Chains A and B, each alone.
Chain A
Amino acid sequence: NAGVTQTPKFRVLKTGQSMTLLCAQDMNHEYMYWYRQDPGMGLRLIHYSVGEGTTAKGEVPDGYNVSRLKKQNFLLGLESAAPSQTSVYFCASSGTGGDGYTFGSGTRLTVV
């Protein structure tokens, strides 16, 4: 019973490089979310999805793209990484929202 799995757990990128963060959930949840956590800023919503094939912008979507081709997977892409995207990224899923959120353990990304 894995819940929400994020890969990779750590990554260092050079400015301008691209990468994709993968989130997978095995709970058959409809909703999936990508957050970033920065010191003093809390958790800020980047993008979210309310079902397979749908995506929507959150609070801080610039510089990121997402895709939800399969219900169990939610991908977060950085096309051209910038140092401002150095952060810890959390994926979450939910059946109905609210206290149904299950978070992954995070991806620590450093852009140099």
Chain B
Amino acid sequence: DQQVKQNSPSLSVQEGRISILNCDYTNSMFDYFLWYKKYPAEGPTFLISISSIKDKNEDGRFTVFLNKSAKHLSLHIVPSQPGDSAVYFCAATSNTGKLIFGQGTTLQVKP
């Protein structure tokens, strides 16, 4: 049972445009959500997070939106840059300290 789902395996956008990566979850106990970025041959690195008491968190070009009623979150990257090309993982946690990850979305930003 996949508790965190990223239904788009890949996304391709033009440099300068907006990238929108989506994530759905099923466990209503999740109260903290994160996005990780992964380059080839490296481990994932933390990008941005949001608490369930908020509906938006912004950090520079990156914004995460949370819709609790729909159990859906999204990551917006504006403007997209070629260096943003990577695999993006959505993750969620409750008070257990364990992160449950989605399948990942490969983003390609074309110059």
Contact = CB atoms under 8 A, between A and B. Distances in A.
Contact of A103 (B43, B49, B102, B104): B43
A98 B32 contact: yes
Contacts of B101: 35, 42-44
* Interface range for B: 20 to 34
Nearest to A90: B43
Nearest to A91: B43
A97 B43 contact: no
- Size category, A interface: 20 to 34
Contacts, number: 61
A101 B103 contact: no
B6, B44, B89 — most chain A CB neighbours (10 Å) = B44
B43 A4 contact: yes
Given A4-B43, A98-B99, A40 B9 contact: yes
A97 B103 CA distance: 20
Given A90-B43, A98-B34, 9 more contacts: A4-B43, A33-B99, A94-B97, A97-B99, A98-B93, A101-B46, A104-B43, A106-B41, A106-B42
13 contacts: A40-B103, A42-B104, A43-B44, A43-B91, A45-B99, A45-B100, A48-B98, A98-B99, A99-B34, A101-B46, A103-B44, A105-B41, A106-B42
Ranked 5 nearest A-B pairs via Cβ: A103-B43, A97-B97, A42-B103, A43-B101, A42-B101
